[in-house]
């Protein structure tokens, strides 16, 4: 596979960065082609703004999604967006590697999403979820987090992990069509020992060696919703009449 790794940690010597590099080495050893976007090293600008567009449909009023569509079609997105967009379109798998900030991605990565996941090409109208523009590609989230594992779950203090991160796993990655693999979560990282961190690196390595076997998370299918995206009522089962005998 061609794999795009996007990472966002402000400290190059962090464990999060070590995990990213262990991941890249593992994937390359398995024969995959890996491209890295290290957003801090690139000094990536995360703010969606007018200068993202070299042409404007309306120079007096910025409709960001509309200008994304027009500038995508005309090849006039700003060069930094164009570069990242090309990497996303060419990859078979996107791997987001980041430290959890507020149960989500750091701002620099949120802005990479805001600016690079362009309307029109990646989604639009009823082209989202299992009809999203990037369907057929995989996505994987690999994070370090301060919480302990027992802090997520049905009766846990933060509730299920999938609900706290639904905006990212379903609302962002699956929205544009990715098959989203189960996230790799390195728990309680700021508080654990050097040995435990070594264990995590080994477990992450094994995880990535098995990605071909991982089944994507299940999400709603647009097939179960009508043209206004209301749930389709289940078709009543025809009552089988006993043939008169």
In this complex, which beta carbon is closest to its own copies, that of residue 2 or of residue 167? 167
* Options 19-27, 71-79, 98-106, 201-209: segment touching its own copies (CB under 8 A): 98-106
Q: Is 188 in the site for its own copies (CB under 8 A)?
A: no
- Report the largest interatomic distance among the alpha carbons of the chain, rounded to a whole angstrom: 81
Degrees, nearest 5: CA angle 84-113-96: 80
> What is the distance between the alpha carbons of residues 139 and 205, in angstroms, rounded to a whole number?
17
In this complex, which beta carbon is closest to its own copies, that of residue 223 or of residue 242? 223
Q: Is 1 in the site for its own copies (CB under 8 A)?
A: no
Residue with tokens 């109208």: 125
> Do residues 106 and 98 touch, judged by C-beta distance below 8 A?
yes
> What is the distance between the alpha carbons of residues 124 and 130, in angstroms, rounded to a whole number?
13
Nearest to 209 by CA among 68, 21, 28: 28
DSSP 53: B
Q: Is 192 in the site for its own copies (CB under 8 A)?
A: no
Q: Is 47 in the site for its own copies (CB under 8 A)?
A: yes
Instruction: Show the site string, 101-130: x = touches its own copies by CB under 8 A, - = not.
Output: xxxxxxxx-xx-xx--x-----------x-
Residues that bind its own copies (CB under 8 A): 10-11, 13-14, 40, 46-50, 60-65, 101-108, 110-111, 113-114, 117, 129, 148, 150-151, 155-159, 163-168, 170-172, 175, 190, 220, 222, 225, 228-231
């Amino acid at each position: 596979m061609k794999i795009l790794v996007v990472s966002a940690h402000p400290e190059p010597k962090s464990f999060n960065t070590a995990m990213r590099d262990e991941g890249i080495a593992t994937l390359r050893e398995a024969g995959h082609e890996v491209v890295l976007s290290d957003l801090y090293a690139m000094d990536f600008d995360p703010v969606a703004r007018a200068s993202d567009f070299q042409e404007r449909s309306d120079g007096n009023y910025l409709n960001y999604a509309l200008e994304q569509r027009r500038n995508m079609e005309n090849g006039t997105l700003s060069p930094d967006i164009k570069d990242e967009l090309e990497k996303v379109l060419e990859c078979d798998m996107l791997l987001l590697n980041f430290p959890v900030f507020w149960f989500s991605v750091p701002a620099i990565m949120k802005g990479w999403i805001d600016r690079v996941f362009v309307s029109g090409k990646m989604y639009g109208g009823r082209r989202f979820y299992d009809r999203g523009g990037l369907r057929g590609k995989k996505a994987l989230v690999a994070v370090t987090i301060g919480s302990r594992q027992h802090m997520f779950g049905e009766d846990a203090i933060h509730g299920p992990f999938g609900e706290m991160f639904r905006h990212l796993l379903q609302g962002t990655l699956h929205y544009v069509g990715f098959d989203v693999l189960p996230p790799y979560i390195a728990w309680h990282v700021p508080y654990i020992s050097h040995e435990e961190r070594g264990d995590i690196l080994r477990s992450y390595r094994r995880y990535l060696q098995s990605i071909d076997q991982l089944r994507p998370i299940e999400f709603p299918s647009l097939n179960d919703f009508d043209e206004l995206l209301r749930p389709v009522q289940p078709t009543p089962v025809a009552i089988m009449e006993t043939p008169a005998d």
